[in-house]
Amino acid sequence: MTAVDVFVGNYTLIDFELYDLWLNGYTAQETALFLQKSGIVQRADVSMEIVYSDIQDQYRLFNSLEKLLKNPPKLMDQQIYQMDAEMQRQIIQRYYQFDSVVVREILGKKLSSRNRKDMDDVGEKTRIPLRSCRRQFDNLKRVFKTVEEMMGSLVENVKTHYLLSEELARQYAAIVFIANNRFETGKKKLNHLTLEDFVFCANQMITHWSYSSVVCTVHQDMDVDLDRGFLQDLRELKMISEKEILDEHKGQVITHLKAALPKKSRQVIEESFKTNSKAIINIACGLNHSKEARDIFLDLVEKVSAI
């Protein structure tokens, strides 16, 4: 057995094919097998031993990079591995990339080590290797811990501390937001909703309902939380459910939607407007009770969309 077999270049070059396999939780042996099946030996005219030695080199590199990847700004500053900025961005981005199905499972759970243990169930269910699931869980937890207590814009915080792309940072922000507010997402009735649905909603909530929303005047808190004052104010909406105001509201909404929606949809809305409006206002009024706020998605699905 070879005792030492390493190759080190002045520039650290990442083989992104291997990197992705590594991120997916393939061990060096599994990767070698995978490559072998893909016919690399014939194509490159090399023995499997050489391919394996290359894989090991890269895997060792990934393992030592992993320490730095947990703190991306450190990776950008370090001098041990001479890489260009683009490559650094790439490896960070890919490291923090997640599978929607996996995160959908984690969503709404407390990011505790007890739940980390359940990742093998998640792995089984989603058919994503356990190692990869754990990485995604740990990434979420790490990002959460970092920005949880931070002032300022959630998305910006994720971007500066993890150097992620705008898109990915937004997703993390939404997930952190959901986790922080402990919104219920795991009930059976919500199963048909995808991660993207939640991310969309959460981002809307961050923009419009949190402390960083434009209408919010008291920026004393962070935007991981809903704006308390706003939620208080929501109670005033109760009056809309009174008969005459309800009709007026209905009329205005319909005219407003005239341009945007086809006639058929408008009719559906018109028919169910009364019940839905009442349900929505009920949910809104309850939002200042944190227990009810947590069930917002459940309530919306149960009481509103049941058209």
Residues that bind another protein (CB under 8 A): 1-13, 15-17, 19-20, 38, 40, 43-47, 49-51, 53-54, 56-57, 60-61, 63-64, 74, 77-87, 90
Within 70-129, where are the H helices? 72-77, 85-96, 100-106, 113-117, 119-126
Kindly state the smallest distance separating residue 22's Cβ from another protein, in Å.
11
Sign of CA dihedral 102, 105, 110, 112: negative
Q: Report how far residue 224's alpha carbon sits from residue 99's, in angstroms, rounded to the nearest whole number.
A: 23
Kindly state the smallest distance separating residue 43's Cβ from another protein, in Å.
5
Backbone angles phi, psi at 254, to 5 degrees: -65, -45
Q: Angle at the Cα of 139 (from 133 to 142), degrees rounded to 5?
A: 140
In single-letter form, the type of residue at position 95 comes to Y
Kindly state the smallest distance separating residue 16's Cβ from another protein, in Å.
4
Using the minimum distance from each CB to another protein, give the nearer residue, 45 or 244. Answer: 45
Kindly state the smallest distance separating residue 94's Cβ from another protein, in Å.
9
| Element of type H or E holding 232 | helix 228-234
Kindly state the smallest distance separating residue 266's Cβ from another protein, in Å.
42
Using the minimum distance from each CB to another protein, give the nearer residue, 13 or 301. Answer: 13
Q: Report how far residue 168's alpha carbon sits from residue 189's, in angstroms, rounded to the nearest whole number.
A: 27
Using the minimum distance from each CB to another protein, give the nearer residue, 54 or 227. Answer: 54
Using the minimum distance from each CB to another protein, give the nearer residue, 96 or 211. Answer: 96
Other Cβ atoms less than 10 A from the Cβ of 172: the count is 26
In single-letter form, the type of residue at position 143 comes to V
Backbone angles phi, psi at 210, to 5 degrees: -85, 180
Kindly state the smallest distance separating residue 48's Cβ from another protein, in Å.
11
Using the minimum distance from each CB to another protein, give the nearer residue, 87 or 193. Answer: 87
Using the minimum distance from each CB to another protein, give the nearer residue, 11 or 255. Answer: 11
